[in-house]
Structure 1
Amino acid sequence: MLKLSDILISHHELKSFDELIPIVQAIARQGERFFRMDVKPPFPDTPDAWEDRLEAAFSGLIR
């Protein structure tokens, strides 16, 4: 299971929410089946609907 906290810990170089999207997409393409958003991304540009955006990126709705 992919956890958002694990992504943020292993990619501490990320500076914005927009940089997070392609990381989530890349991990999903590697065959990860489940995604748990256990923390809110700590970026100033994190949108109100951040869960929906990350879920869309993970499920392939955003390309």
Structure 2
Amino acid sequence: MLKLSEILVANQELESFDDLLPIIQAIARDGERFFRMDVKPPFPDTPENWEDRLEATFSGLVR
């Protein structure tokens, strides 16, 4: 299971929530099956529905 906190630590160069989405998509495409959102993304543009958006991105509902 991959955790959001691990993604954020490994990609400290990210500057916005929108920069995070392609990373999540790439991880899902590489075969990761489980994704846990254990922290809120620390970006000023993180939307209120951030959990829904990340889940949709991970599950392939957003392209």
Q: Measure how far apart 1:2 and its partner are.
A: 1.1
CA distance, structure 2, for counterparts of residue 3 and residue 22 of structure 1: 16
In the other structure, the counterpart of 2:10 is 10
Q: Structure 1 runs of 4+ off > 4 angstroms?
A: none
CA distance, structure 1, for counterparts of residue 42 and residue 13 of structure 2: 12
Is structure 2 residue 23 aligned with structure 1 residue 23? yes
CA distance, structure 1, for counterparts of residue 34 and residue 27 of structure 2: 11
Is structure 2 residue 36 aligned with structure 1 residue 46? no
TM-score for the superposition, normalised by structure 1: 0.99
Q: Where does structure 1 lack aligned partners over 5 or more consecutive residues?
A: none
Local SS of the residue matching 2:24: helix
Sequence identity percentage: 78
In the other structure, the counterpart of 2:61 is 61
Code of the residue aligned with 1:27 in structure 2: it is I
Q: Where does structure 2 lack aligned partners over 5 or more consecutive residues?
A: none
Code of the residue aligned with 1:13 in structure 2: it is E
Local SS of the residue matching 1:43: coil
